[in-house]
Structure 1
Amino acid sequence: MSFSILTKNELARVMGSRQCCKMAELLALIKMDGSLQVSGRQMSLNILNHNAAVARKVFKLVKELFGMQAEVLVKKKVRLRKNNVYWVRIPPQEGLRDMLVRLGLQRFDGSLREDLLQDMVSRNCCRRAYLRGAFLGGGSVNSPGGNYHMEIITSKGRHAADLCRLMQKFGLTAKISRRKAWFVVYLKDSEQIVECLNLMGAHSALLEFENTRIFKGMRNQVNRLVNCETANLNKTVDASLRQIESIAQVARVIGIDKLPLGLREIAELRLSFPDASLKELGEMANPPLGKSGVNHRLRKLDQMAEKLRAGDMPPGF
């Protein structure tokens, strides 16, 4: 089961304690996946979802808040092995128009509202409930083991803008992109996804997200340290091989015993300890040398070898 489905199943069990919050969440679910059917003077409302737990929540909210008769229909999708589709259908009945007006979906004159009635989300608790309903209606969140991405997809550009503004009220820097005929409100920052999960009430999903994110961060840090250590080790080995070749060149032409005492000592140490670092070579010298002192002498040996390869005899030899 995907992380997104686990999150939705958890949020489907979260019920607001206040009626205003339940109203806001039901409004979001209807605006995300609701369709109004009008035939003459009769009107019915259908609310679609692909999650059985979410469909049960819609059914419960409709019954609890408005006492409306409703039914849940299940349609099996065979093509491409899709999941079931659940329809919460509110058939024509007295009180349906009043329900739509109270939710801010319809005006008193019967015309439909495209904008989000701000009275429905005037409180922070209602804004959180609305975001929860919107996510249940058309949201998804990637597993934290991969790329960080949370999105809510809606067919209305105005609704996408309303969702974006709601998130911004909580300090979430949501953005909107277009995907064919859909508008996508998304977050990509892991900290903000964690905050959004917290706002919606998905606390178990949040803990799993955080645990995976911390483990992923530690693994990445270890990989960076290992890569850095490997790079440093490769540089040390390459430098050591080059220095040994230079010392061998000097030994063939001049002879190590003919070198000044300081150069002879460092040359013999390098030949005896090819894997040692500059610091370790310096500690073995008598008297001990710093890294810069060892590096200076080895560079002089490199320069001497280069001149010998070019056919030039260093001064004094």
Structure 2
Amino acid sequence: MLATGFRSSFRATASSPPRDSAPIRASASTTSDGCSRSKVSLSEDLRNELAAIAPRSECDRLAELSGLFHSAGSVHLRGRGAVAVHLDVADSAVARRAFSLLRAFGVASEIRTYQRRAFHGATRYQLHIAGDERALQVLHEAGVLSARLTPLSAPPRRVVARACCRGAYLRGALLGGASLSGPRAPHLELRSAEPEGADFVARLAAEEGVNLRVADRGRHAIAYAKGVDAIEGVLALAGAGRSVLVFEESTVLAATRSRANRLANADHANLVRTSRAAHEQLRAIQRLRRTGAFVKLPPQLQEIGELRERHPTFSLRELALTCRPPTTKAAAHRRLQKLQQLAAI
């Protein structure tokens, strides 16, 4: 049984719902305003992907519920020790997911919608959870509320003791308050009401080998990553394989494009060097002809000189194959160098 005492040393939002809020049925196939657009942001794609992942065990469901409420939840004081908890999310898919998680634990909730005054009046979704005994017990087990019904900035260790639970918690945090952009300028943020909550997310990711940084923005704190490797690590831990592939595909394309550019630049540089070398070789041959020394040269040197005059754009390999009999690239190079040395005397 949870104690009913309550302390006020925490952030709490106003207890009155938005004026334009209206309940909706959880089974409705409503989609968010963002999903109806032709271009869906990476953040929306990520939330839709994660919302379709079913937790395999009860501990995963509890950890995911904890991540959701720590990133997007608020506790409301009703007076005389009464408590209500709200969850405010951006997508209907996330709202339905939270509704299903709560229902799996026998907790009743109601989904309502309201229009934001900013951001072009985007639709938001709120889950209203009455503070009955069962709801408070589940939220305590999930590490959202303490035994005295005060909000916890981070859940206790028992909620995220296993690797699967840590992944589920990160999934809940991504569903509730994450922003993802990229892949050209990759950036991932996981929002928390308090710096302690952001620190907890960063420590959780570090346990799985992923490095996140923490920043306090006054009204909220974030755990964030800007590198592709760290972002892919967080997404993989949460089970967002499709979103990971988006970043990996971009990395592969960038590497392929860079390699193609390097090869093109190398080919251009080789052509420039070949052209300059052929020009110097032709000048040497012309000098030898003017002095009458060319006709006195050994047959092999005369042959390579005549081939260079006949084929000024040929590479050394092509000149070597044109010789009779064909010779090696190194041999053709030595013969041309000999012509240049004789012309310089």
Would the TM-score normalized by the shorter structure come out above 0.5? yes
Percent identical among aligned pairs is: 30
Over 3 Å counting, the alpha-carbon distance change for 1:17 and 1:285 in structure 2 is: closer
Residue 166 of structure 1: aligned partner: 204
CA distance in 2, matches of 1:77, 1:241: 72
- After superposing on structure 2, the runs of 4+ consecutive aligned residues of structure 1 that deviate more than 6 Å are none
Kept in 2: contact 1:150–1:193 (CA 8 A): yes
Aligned counterpart, 2:294: 257
What do residues 155-175 of structure 1 show as CA deviations (whole Å, max 9, x unaligned)? 43332332233223333x322
Report the alpha carbon displacement of residue 218 of structure 1 after superposing the two structures with TM: 4.2
Q: 1:19-58 alignment to 2 at 5 Å?
A: 19-41=58-80, 42-58=82-98
Instruction: For residues 106-141 of structure 1, give each alpha carbon's deviation from its aligned partner in whole angstroms, at most 9, with x where no partner exists.
Output: 322344433331100112221221111111122244
Moved more, 12-21 or 239-248: 239-248
Once the two structures are superposed, the pairs formed by residues 1-317 of structure 1 within 5 Å of their partners are 1-41=40-80, 42-68=82-108, 70-77=109-116, 79-81=118-120, 83-144=122-183, 146-171=184-209, 173-178=210-215, 180-181=217-218, 182-186=221-225, 188-190=227-229, 193-194=231-232, 196-206=234-244, 210=248, 214=252, 217-248=255-286, 250-251=287-288, 253-255=290-292, 257-258=294-295, 260-261=297-298, 262-286=300-324, 288-302=326-340, 314=345
Distance 1:165 1:272, change over 3 A: same
Which blocks of at least 5 consecutive residues in structure 2 are unaligned?
Answer: 1-39
Amino acid at match of 1:264: Q
Q: Residues 293 and 136 of structure 1: is their aligned pair in 2 closer, same or farther, counting only changes over 3 Å?
A: same
Change (3 A) 1:23 1:259: farther
Aligned counterparts of 2:122 and 2:262: Cα–Cα separation in 1: 41
Q: Which structure has the highest helix share of the two?
A: 1
Q: CA deviation at 1:14?
A: 1.6
Q: 1:252-295 deviations in whole A, cap 9, x for unaligned?
A: 75256356335433222211111211122223334544333333
- Report the counterpart of residue 310 of structure 1 in structure 2: none
CA distance in 1, matches of 2:235, 2:335: 61
For residues 255 and 158 of structure 1, what CA distance do their matches in structure 2 show? Answer: 90
Asked whether the equivalents of residues 282 and 309 of structure 2 are also in contact (C-alpha less than 8 Å), the reply is yes
Cα 1:301–1:30, aligned 2, differ >3 Å: closer, same or farther?
Answer: same
Per-residue CA distance 1:52-92 (angstroms, 9 max, x = gap): 21122122222332423x33332323544363222222245
Seen in structure 2, the aligned counterparts of structure 1 residues 214 and 74 have a Cα distance that, compared at 3 Å, is same
Deviation string, structure 1 residues 178-216 (Cα, Å, up to 9, x no partner): 3744333326245x6555444323344455555565555
Alignment TM-score, normalising by the size of structure 2? 0.73
- 8 Å Cα contact 1:26/1:61 also seen in 2: yes
Secondary structure class of the residue paired with 1:126 = helix
| Separation of aligned partners in 2, 1:267 and 1:177 | 70
Please give the secondary structure, in 1, of the residue aligned with 2:148: coil
Letter in 2 for 1:229: D
After TM superposition, the score normalised by the length of structure 1 is 0.79
Looking at structure 1, the residues matched to 192 and 288 of structure 2 have their Cα atoms a distance apart, in angstroms, of 77
Three-state SS of the structure 1 residue aligned to 2:154 is coil
Whether the 8 Å CA contact 2:142–2:159 is kept in 1: the answer is yes
Change (3 A) 1:3 1:108: closer
Q: Assess, with a 3 A threshold, how the Cα gap between structure 1 residues 196 and 184 changes in structure 2: closer, same or farther.
A: closer
Partners of 2:307 and 2:185 in 1: CA distance: 50
Structure 1 residue 237, shift from structure 2 partner = 2.7
- Where 1:86 maps in the other structure, the secondary structure is strand
What 5-or-longer segments of structure 1 have no aligned partner?
308-313
The 1:183/1:199 distance shift into structure 2, 3 A limit, reads: closer
